[in-house]
Structure formats: structure tokens, C-alpha cells
Amino acid sequence: MKRLYGVIVVVAFAAFGCNRPAETPAPAASAAPTYTPHGTLLQVMRAIPFPASNIIFDMQSNDPGKPAKPSDSGGNASSQYGGIAAYAGWNAVENAGVAIQETANLIMIPGRKCGNGQPVPNDQEDFKKWAAALQEVGAEVTKFAQAKTYNEDAILDLTGKVSDACSNCHMKYRETPKQPDDRCMVNAAPAAAK
């Protein structure tokens, strides 16, 4: 009888040992993310650097360190979020500088199209240089905002740099030629004179 119990115990261990759940394989290394443009260059510009640059230019007439003036519109984002410290004053200017820096990254994502369907000319050396200048001035705005020192001369200099960084690309790829269908084209033919 002892032998029978011994055999039953051995068979039980063998059965349980062979029927263990399979080990879960280690998760495969995730692939590097792909960066896909979701909006046109026009949409990115209207959504990010346009409002951000307006916050920066607003420093010319409004000290970010002072309390916000009461707004009579009441329904816009500035009035709704202006009382929240993270979205107002020097924080807003700092965030605007970061937004300008990030815009330089976003406009360099391959495959993005302009509003007219033309490819963004981010393979052109001048476009790359101007995107880098946009990133640099965004960093300068961020650093200026972190210092929280209102200096009208420094602000005028800084806003001039922001304007110059934007106008570099605008002059070649947006403003001329004046035909919207020709925007972003590297070798666009000049508009016919009338």
C-alpha cells in the first residue's frame, strides 16, 4: 500500500509539473514612434505660433507681471483661463516661447502639406535654417519670461526677433508669390502681371 501511495504522489507531481501554465514571453521591444503630420502647415501655424506670438507681442503694451485687466468679452479662452496662474502672466509668455520652439519641430515633420496641398519645403536649406532660428528665438522668449523682468527696450528687441524669425519663411514661402496656390512652392512661377 505504501508503494501505491508513493506512485500516486509521483504521478500527481508529474501531472502538475507538466501542466504548469506556459511562461508569458517578455514583451517585444516597442518600435520607435512614427511622427505623422495631422494638420496642414496652415493649421499648425494658426493653432500654435499665431496665438503664441500674440501673447509675446502683447508684452509691448501689457506687463505680464501685473494683474490682468478685466475683460468685457467674457467668452474667450483668455478671459476664461487668464485667472489661472499657469495660463497667465509670465507663465503665459514662457509657454508661448515653448510653443514657438515646438513649432520648429512640428514644421520639420516629413510629409506635412501646406494649406494648398503643396509639400512643406522642409527639405530646403533656407527653410531648415529659418526653422532653427524660430527655435532659437523661442528659447530666448522662454528664458526672458523665466527672469520675470519687465524691460520695454528688451521686449521691443525680443519681439522684433520673433517677427524676423517668422517673416523669413513668410517672405519666401507665404507672401510671394501672392497666389495662394503657389504658396510653399520652392520654384513657384511669379504671378502674371496684369
Span 109-140, pLDDT tens digits: 999 999 888 899 999 999 999 999 999 999 99
> With 0-12 CB in 10 A as exposed, 13-18 as middle and 19+ as buried, what is 104?
buried
What does the DSSP 8-state code read for residue 149? Answer: -
Which cell numbers in the block locate residue 68? 490682468
Please report, as a single letter, which amino acid is at residue 102: E
Which cell numbers in the block locate residue 173? 514661402
Q: Would you place residue 185 in the very low, low, confident or very high pLDDT band (cuts 50, 70, 90)? A: confident
48 vs 29, residue with greater confidence: 48
